[in-house]
């Protein structure tokens, strides 16, 4: 936020809500790209003209610094409404965070079947906010790295493995209530029905990984590369048997395998709704791919559903040798706006 005035923040959210409603319906923002006064810049940038809505969804979130900035200042009179769970994520072992790719007062996540539609949405919302907000960082992802519905097949990450097999599915209503949606008992009434968005930019050392034997890759993950079945046998959806013995008095699923370290059984049964994406941002100075996973997860409480899992992974997971976390952020995502409401209206009521 560039502005420190509460009314300007509310006005921005009202304008963003209107534009989001238009664009998710496949319409241009404002009066459009070609129908306005020719003496003025158009309301819409125009790169999505003639394209369908492409399943566009737009999600907004509020960062900890919106409630209190780095100096503890309550710029918008909402510090007393900051949820206890909305705190900057800790610096985990192995994190190599770029401050320019981390944090933020507000976030926008735009998802669409056509990336041009998603880029159009973010571009126009940033344009609408010119002078009130500025873009701190952005990330373009493609594909998806987790299945979020029983109707989907499990996608693959850039290591070539199926990712998100045990993800919470849209059809699991009870699990969503338990692990994803913030309840009325969370101490922040305005956030009830919303969620917390965890974002982590994870660079993969692709070239090093590609030189590892197939057997080692499968041991690091704890699943077969082809079908995604656990090394203990069965099919992709078969529950791993962590007690099954292997060779040399070691379990068939190694003690530092990813699937073992992050499994819900190791963390009191907590689960996440993951909605991550692959990314390739060109090449680095050494000629390797600047590529990896833009990890996104929605959780009921980051303190119970993300931090312990990430801490265990950063300390004990064999995969971490091939990963570098370069960006990190946490946002509170308010419940969806109803008819006549703007995004986050309950926060300012």
- Kindly state the average pLDDT of the residues 20-25: 97
- Kindly state the average pLDDT of the residues 327-346: 96
111: CB partners within 8 A, 6+ apart: 55, 56, 57, 59, 118, 275
Helix/strand/coil for 13: helix
Tokens of residue 193, six digits: 């029905």
Question: How high is the pLDDT of residue 188?
Answer: 84
Tokens of residue 41, six digits: 């810049």
What's the N-to-C CA distance of the chain in angstroms?
20
Question: How high is the pLDDT of residue 232?
Answer: 97
User: What digits encode the pLDDT tens for the residues 93-149?
Assistant: 989 999 999 999 999 999 999 999 999 999 999 999 999 999 999 999 999 888 889
Taking the whole predicted model, whether its pTM rises above 0.85 is answered as yes
Max CA pair span of the chain: 78
pLDDT band at 88 (very low <50, low <70, confident <90, very high): very high
Which one, of 135, 133, 129, 124, lies nearest residue 28 by Cα? Answer: 124
Per-residue pLDDT at 186 exceeds 90:
no
Domain boundaries, given as residue ranges, for the chain: 1-59+105-136, 84-102+137-348
Question: How high is the pLDDT of residue 21?
Answer: 97
Per-residue pLDDT at 164 exceeds 90:
no
C-alpha pair distances (Å), 117 with each of 44, 56, 76, 279, 343? 12, 7, 32, 17, 21
Tokens of residue 135, six digits: 């873009």
Asked if 167 and 155 touch (Cβ cutoff 8 Å), the reply is: no
Strand partners, 202: 293, 325
Tokens of residue 20, six digits: 């989001």
Per-residue pLDDT at 187 exceeds 90:
no
Q: What's the Rg (C-alpha) of the chain?
A: 21
Question: How high is the pLDDT of residue 145?
Answer: 84
Question: How high is the pLDDT of residue 349?
Answer: 87
Burial of residue 126, with CB atoms counted within 10 A of its CB: 0-12 exposed, 13-18 middle, 19 or more buried = middle
Question: How high is the pLDDT of residue 11?
Answer: 97
Rounded to the nearest integer, the mean pLDDT of the chain is 95
H or E, element range at 277: strand 277-283
Which one, of 267, 19, 152, lies nearest residue 11 by Cα? Answer: 19
């Amino acid at each position: 936020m560039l502005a420190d005035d509460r009314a300007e923040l509310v006005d921005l959210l009202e304008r963003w809500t209107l534009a989001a409603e238009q664009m998710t319906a496949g319409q241009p923002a404002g009066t459009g790209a070609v129908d306005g006064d020719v003496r003025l810049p158009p309301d819409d940038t125009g790169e999505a003209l003639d394209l369908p809505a492409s399943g566009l969804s737009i999600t907004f979130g509020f960062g900890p610094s919106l409630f209190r900035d780095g100096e503890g200042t309550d710029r918008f009179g909402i510090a007393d409404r900051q949820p206890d769970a909305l705190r900057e994520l800790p610096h985990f072992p192995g994190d190599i965070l770029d401050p320019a790719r981390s944090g933020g007062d507000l976030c926008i996540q735009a998802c669409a079947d056509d990336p041009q539609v998603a880029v159009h949405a973010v571009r126009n919302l940033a344009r609408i906010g010119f002078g009130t907000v500025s873009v701190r960082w952005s990330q373009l992802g493609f594909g998806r790295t987790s299945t979020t519905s029983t109707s989907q097949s499990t996608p693959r990450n850039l290591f070539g493995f199926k990712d998100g097999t045990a993800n919470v599915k849209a059809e699991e209503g009870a699990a969503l209530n338990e692990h994803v949606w913030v309840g009325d008992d969370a101490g922040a009434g305005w956030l009830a029905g919303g969620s917390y968005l965890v974002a982590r930019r994870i660079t993969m050392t692709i070239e090093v990984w590609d030189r590892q034997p197939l057997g080692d890759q499968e041991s690091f993950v704890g699943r077969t590369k082809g079908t995604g079945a656990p090394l203990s046998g069965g099919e992709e959806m078969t529950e791993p048997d962590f007690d099954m013995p292997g060779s040399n008095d070691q379990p068939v699923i190694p003690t530092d395998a990813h699937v073992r370290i992050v499994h819900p059984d190791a963390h009191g049964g907590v689960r996440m709704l993951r909605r991550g994406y692959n990314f390739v941002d060109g090449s680095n100075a050494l000629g390797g791919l600047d590529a990896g996973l833009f990890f996104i997860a929605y959780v009921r409480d980051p303190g119970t559903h993300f931090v312990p899992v990430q801490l265990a992974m950063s300390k004990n997971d064999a995969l971490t040798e091939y990963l570098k976390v370069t960006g990190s952020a946490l946002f509170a995502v308010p419940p969806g706006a109803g008819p006549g409401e703007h995004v986050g209206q309950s926060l300012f009521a």
